[in-house]
Amino acid sequence: MNKTQSPPSDLAPTVGSGSFRALMALLRPHWQRLSVAICVGIMGGLSITALLATINTSLHAEGGLTSGLLAAFAGFCILSLVGSILSDMGANAVGQHVIARLRQDLGRKILRAPIDQLERYRAHRLIPVVTHDVDVISDFAFCFAPLSVAFTVTLGCLTYLAILSPVMFLATVSAVIFGSIIQYKARLKGIAGFHEARELEDEMQKTYRSLSEGAKELRLNRTRRQDVHARHLERTAEDIRDVQLRSINLFVVAKGLGSSLFFIVVGVALAVQSVWPSADSQTLSGFVLVMLYMKGPLEHLVTELPIVTRAQVAFRRIAALSEQFATPEPDLLLAGGVTPLATVPEIRLEGVSYAFPTPEGGDPFKLGPLSLTIEPGSLLFIVGDNGSGKTTLIKILLGLYKPTEGAVVWNDEPVTDACRDDYRQQFTTVFSDFFLFEEVGCEGNTRDGDPLEQVTPVLTRLELDHKVAIVDGRFSTTDLSTGQRKRLALIQAWLDGRPVLVFDEWAADQDPTFRQVFYTEILPELKAMGKTIIAISHDDRYFHVADRVVRLRGGHLVDDGRPAAATAVVVGGADSRPEGAVRV
């Protein structure tokens, strides 16, 4: 088979190692543009420092502002303006590329994660990572350039102070160090608070799902509705509010103390100068000018600390998700493909077992060991009580679960990692918890002519023509009842043109008429087309339609044979399709 491998992900091997290494991995492809942006930003920051020096010199120059000072002033203004704009544009461009790459890498990891791992990772934990946490990283990307410029301006101002007066420089550095210690302490407590808030946001996401997916149940149960509103919605929202306020207030208090330190240092310098004059007026005015200007960039650095801290928390959450899916399913193609076969060889399960992890406070479930042979072109029913292992058996047959023991044999060869993805392409499925894509798939249909032209009669037969049409290769709507959506999924499965069709309780949401049509017309017609059909069913009145019925109980095969003679009551005759309708 000709296989096209997906592009490698720089995030995959590094994001689990820490937020800093993950950020470096994301920035690595853009280091040239980022280096230019940082250098230009440094140039702009140094130009601002030079502007301050020029202003200070002009204030004390004999004869006022000379033409040379004016030219220097104009030149430094232009350099600072150009440096700031280009630095922001360059860093923002890098930030957007990084966010796009982060979204692609996370999506690729989720797409390639083993199904059993993905099923165990709760949706209320997954969705906030790929939405909220990525948005937080995006906010950090936008403030990255201003932070670099503010940091450069601060360093330039400190350098100028060292040139003006080493004593005043040491006093300023002492104040900055003291303020930084306060910020560091506040940041440690803030990180803990943001982590707590982030955990609560997962709970809020779970509550939102309850409000949306359980809307009908909440309308019918006032006690539950009041409990969800008071204990989950309001209390969780208030907890998030309180934790966020407490964390951000720490930064606000630290910022206020740091800002006051600047005025204290300036006040001390002026007091010392008045009591013990030791510095000339140019040095003192330069010191005051630089201190007052440097206060802005330093406060900007302090103000953006919560964003930086949230980004650190978000990176850790992303790292946890990436580590959860650190082992992608091997040989799962994201490009290229294979053409489904017209018919498939015999499929066999040989001593297959599958064991689930032990749930907390419960007993583990194990399917098998069991053996089963599925002949090409046959119609097989899998039956059994709820929890007997029917869906697990189907997922093993489809190659979605890798058996913990035994083997799935296809074309007299075991299905291995190298061929599992090709093996899956021979199946199309409508699960009980199916997802209906809007795009119409028909790349593998073996009928003559354009398959899409044959859909309209099928829509009519399934009584969907008045609600659904195909426009530009998409269903015009999927906003239908569950039974109607399952009928649409059946059409999509037929259009896929795969040789093996698997139905997981398809008829459970259908009315008696469509249930009869499914078992007595559609399944026999698909079988007559040469399809191999596997169906999970509880409709024992239609078991006679199958070539074989296998029964599961407690994860074990307890009955495997041909169904009894037909005893079902048939309503409406053997062929009740509308006159002229196309067979499916």
pLDDT beyond 70 at 211: yes
d(CA 378, CA 550): 13
Other C-beta atoms lying within 10 Å of the C-beta of residue 351: 12
d(CA 267, CA 282): 17
pLDDT beyond 50 at 573: no
570 strand-pairing partners: none
Express each pLDDT in 239-269 by its tens digit: 888 888 888 887 777 777 766 766 777 776 6
> Which tokens sit at 95?
């930030």
Helix (H) or strand (E) holding 222: helix 222-227
Residue ranges in 441-522 assigned as alpha helix (H): 455-461, 482-496, 512-517
pLDDT beyond 90 at 159: no
φ, ψ of residue 556 in degrees (nearest 5): -125, 150
* Short-list 141, 165, 53, 127, CA closest to 90: 141
Q: Are 441 and 492 in contact (CB under 8 A)?
A: yes
The reply to whether domains 15-324 and 347-561 share a CATH topology is no
- pTM of the prediction? 0.63
Handedness of CA 298, 302, 304, 308 (dihedral sign): positive
Name the percent of the chain lying above pLDDT 70.
77
Pairing mode, strands 474-475 and 470-471: antiparallel
pLDDT beyond 60 at 6: no
d(CA 336, CA 321): 27
- The pLDDT of 327-337, averaged and rounded, is 66
Q: What is the 3-state secondary structure (H, E, C) of 362-425?
A: CCCCEEEEEEEEECCCCEEEEEECCCCCHHHHHHHHCCCCCCCEEEEEECCEECCHHHHHHHHC
d(CA 35, CA 37): 5
φ, ψ of residue 398 in degrees (nearest 5): -75, -10
In 173-286 the beta strands, taken as DSSP E runs, fall at none
| Amino acid found at 397 | L
- The pLDDT of 463-476, averaged and rounded, is 81
Statement: 15-324 belongs to CATH 1.10.10.10: no
CA 351 to chain centre: 37
Pairing mode, strands 413-414 and 556-561: unpaired
pLDDT value at residue 229: 84
pLDDT band, very low/low/confident/very high, at 14 (cuts 50, 70, 90): very low
DSSP state of 337: -
What is each CA distance from 143 to 45, 103, 311, 427, 440, in whole angstroms? 16, 19, 11, 49, 42
Express each pLDDT in 56-106 by its tens digit: 777 666 666 667 777 877 888 888 788 778 877 777 787 777 777 777 777
Name the percent of the chain lying above pLDDT 90.
8
- The pLDDT of 450-470, averaged and rounded, is 77
Q: Name the residue with higher pLDDT: 122 or 237.
A: 237
Which residues, 6 or more positions from 277, have their beta carbon under 8 angstroms from its beta carbon? none
Helix (H) or strand (E) holding 383: strand 379-384
* Short-list 158, 164, 179, CA closest to 264: 179
Express each pLDDT in 367-419 by its tens digit: 879 999 999 989 999 998 888 889 899 999 998 888 989 999 988 889 888 88
Express each pLDDT in 118-139 by its tens digit: 777 666 567 777 777 777 777 7
d(CA 454, CA 584): 10
pLDDT beyond 90 at 576: no
d(CA 34, CA 148): 11
pLDDT value at residue 464: 85
**What's the helix, strand, coil split of the chain in %, to 5?**
60, 10, 25
Q: What is the 3-state secondary structure (H, E, C) of 31-67?
A: HHHHHHHHHHHHHHHHHHHHHHHHHHHHHHCCCCCCH
pLDDT value at residue 359: 65
Question: What rounded mean pLDDT belongs to the chain?
Answer: 75
Express each pLDDT in 18-52 by its tens digit: 455 666 666 677 777 777 877 787 777 777 777 77
pLDDT value at residue 88: 75
Which residues, 6 or more positions from 434, have their beta carbon under 8 angstroms from its beta carbon? 485, 486, 489, 504
pLDDT band, very low/low/confident/very high, at 534 (cuts 50, 70, 90): very high
DSSP state of 430: E
Q: What are the domain boundaries of the chain?
A: 15-324, 347-561
Express each pLDDT in 279-291 by its tens digit: 566 677 777 777 7
Which residues, 6 or more positions from 78, have their beta carbon under 8 angstroms from its beta carbon? none
Q: Name the residue with higher pLDDT: 286 or 576.
A: 286
The CATH architecture that domain 347-561 belongs to is: 3-Layer(aba) Sandwich (3.40)
Q: Name the residue with higher pLDDT: 358 or 428.
A: 428
Express each pLDDT in 92-118 by its tens digit: 787 777 777 777 777 777 777 777 777
Q: Name the residue with higher pLDDT: 261 or 197.
A: 197
Q: Name the residue with higher pLDDT: 506 or 185.
A: 506
pLDDT value at residue 352: 92
pLDDT value at residue 313: 76
d(CA 369, CA 351): 5
